[in-house]
Amino acid sequence: MSVVKENAALAALDFVESGMTLGLGSGSTAEIFIDRLGEKVAGGMKVVGVPTSKRTAECAIEAGVPLIEPDKVDRIHLTIDGADEVDPAFNLIKGGGACLLREKIIANASERMLVIVDASKMVEILGKFPLPIEVDPFGMALTAEQVFDALKVTGCKEAQTVLRQMKDGSGPLVTDGGNYILDSKCKAIPNPADTALALSQIPGVMEHGLFIDLADVLIVGEADHARVIELSRD
Ligand code: 5RP
C-alpha cells in the first residue's frame, strides 16, 4: 500500500465527525480512506456513506461502513474523494476510474468536498492526464466530433479522443450508469471553466471529468505526513 496515499487518507479522518453522512469517492486513495473509516466505525463512530460507484459500495461493505442510497439522504456533510489532477485553484480532473458522473453528482450535492491525493497529482495546468468524458453510447461518434470542437474552441491545442476499452480487450468500458468513456488527450487545458461549460452543452455528454469550484479542502499525502490546504470561497 502507498504510504503517501495512506497519510492523505488518515489526515482526512480528522474532518469526519460522528453523525455525518459522507460521500464516499472512488479509486485507490478513496478505498484506503474507506478502510480506515471502517476501523473508526468499529470503534463506535456513527456515520453513513453514499458510495459513488459499485466498487466503492463493495469496499465499504467489506470495511463495515454503513451505506445509504443517495435518494434517502437529507444532506451530505462531506465527500472524500481522490483526483487524477489538481491545479492551484483546486480545479480537478477526475474519472480515471470511470466513476466521474456519480462522483460529481455526490460532490455537487455535498456541503464540502475534501480531495485526497499524492503530490504527483498536483499540476500547474490541467490536461496532461487525458480528460475523461462520459457519453451516451447512442450517437457516440457524433458526440465525439462535438467534444473535439468544444475542446478546440476553448483553447486546447490538441484534442485527440479515444474510446476507453476494457483492460481485458473485451470491448468498450461501460460505466456503472451504462455509458462509455471518451478520453481526450489535450496535453493542456488552458481555460478549464470554459471547457467545462462547452462540454456540458453537448447533449450526448452525460458528464465530464472537469470538477470546477467543487473542492474545498485538499490533502496532499507526503512520505511522513500530509499537507492540508483549505480553500476559502468567500
Ligand atoms: C475515479 C477517480 C479517482 O478518484 C481518480 O482516478 C484517482 O484515483 P486514485 O486514487 O486511484 O489515484 O476519479 O473515477
| Helix axes 28-42 and 3-13, enclosed angle (nearest 10) | 50
Question: How many whole angstroms from 61 Cα to the centroid of ligand 1?
Answer: 19
Per-residue pLDDT of the chain (234 residues; tens, 9 = 90+): 699 999 999 999 999 999 999 999 999 999 999 999 999 999 999 999 999 999 999 999 999 999 999 999 999 999 999 999 999 999 999 999 999 999 999 999 999 999 999 999 999 999 999 999 999 999 999 999 999 999 999 999 999 999 999 999 999 999 999 999 999 999 999 999 999 999 999 999 999 999 999 999 999 999 999 999 998 776
Cell output for 192: 478549464
- Whole-number Å distance between alpha carbons of 152 and 144: 12
**Residue 95 CA, closest ligand 1 atom number:** 14
Q: Is the pTM of this model over 0.85?
A: yes
Residue 103 known to be catalytic: yes
* Ligand 1 atom, smallest distance to 94 CA: 13
The CATH classification number of 3-122+213-229 equals 3.40.50.1360
Query: Please, which residues have CB within 8 angstroms of residue 171's CB and are 6 or more apart in sequence?
Result: 165
Q: How far is the CA of 214 from the centre of ligand 1 (A)?
A: 16
Q: Whose CA is nearest to atom 3 of ligand 1?
A: 27
Beta strand ranges found along the chain (DSSP E): 21-24, 48-51, 76-81, 85-86, 92-93, 110-118, 131-135, 160-163, 180-185, 205-208, 210-211, 217-221, 226-230
List the CATH code of the domain at 131-208.
3.30.70.260
| Domain boundaries of the chain, sorted by first residue | 3-122+213-229, 131-208
